[in-house]
Amino acid sequence: MKLNGKVALVTGTSTNIGGGIAEGLAAEGAALVCVDARAENASDCARYIKSTGGRAAAVTCDVTDERQVIDAVAAAREAFGGIDILVNSAGISHIGTLETTSETDFDAVFRVNVKGMYNCMAASIGHMKARAGGVILNLASIAASAGLADRFAYSMSKGAVVAMTYSVARDFLDHNIRCNCISPARVHTPFVDGFLRRNYPGHEEEMFAKLAQSQPVGRMANPDEVAWLALFLCSDEAAFITGTDYPLDGGFLRLRG
């Protein structure tokens, strides 16, 4: 049990990626605080972990609200005594160029993907310092490094995630706190299927194949593959790794063309 005795707080547990990471950490012995903006989603995650013999608590929290985040961290302390691992998975996507992204859209993406991550790290870092160490893992995207079409606001937000990751890693080296991020390419989740139904009715299979082939390995990632990398980076097996952005991209950044 790689994480036996550890306490992990994971945001965005309603998603395949966040939920998969939470379940993976729990399977390795961590007590989980499942955080989501919707109470039923957080409860479903915690209920599943408990059904498999794990320990879990559900917390409803809008990560854009500083007070709610502080309360969520306090709930983690009350339930399990503190926080050793923070996984920032909560986020939203947006499709649009600079010209087609409204100020309202831009602000909404920034509030969740950047401010929300800031709130969670800021509320957790003091507790990790008090426990003489910890791990922060942020979910970024290859959009932070690659020029993706129609992803202006989303790319902006994920670029900020990578920059925050580097900064936190550097500033808290002396406190034995590691901070890394994962930058996935396309991951096959219900979001992808919904996007194809809305935008390419009748041509879903054709467009799915096209999106899958944009990764040099010829397919999208599955959520479990993100969870496996997250588990490694949160474990002591990665004790020498901090301040690193891990592309999980099937060769997208380096092997295209």
Which residues are known catalytic residues? 154
Beta carbons within 10 angstroms of residue 152's beta carbon: 21
Contact 215, 251 (CB under 8 A): yes
Give the CA distances from residue 156 to residues 54, 72, 93, 110, 143, in Å, rounded to whole numbers and listed in that order: 37, 27, 11, 8, 8
Q: How far is 235 from 254, CA to CA, in rounded Å?
A: 27
Q: What is the 3-state secondary structure (H, E, C) of the chain?
A: CCCCCCEEEEECCCCHHHHHHHHHHHHCCCEEEEEECCHHHHHHHHHHHHHCCCCEEEEECCCCCHHHHHHHHHHHHHHHCCCCEEEECCCCCCCECCCCCCHHHHHHHHHHHHHHHHHHHHHHHHHHHHCCCEEEEEECCHHHCCCCCCEHHHHHHHHHHHHHHHHHHHHCHHHCEEEEEEEECCECCHHHHHHHHHHCCCCHHHHHHHHHHCCCCCCCECHHHHHHHHHHHHCHHHCCCCCCEEEECCCHHHHCC
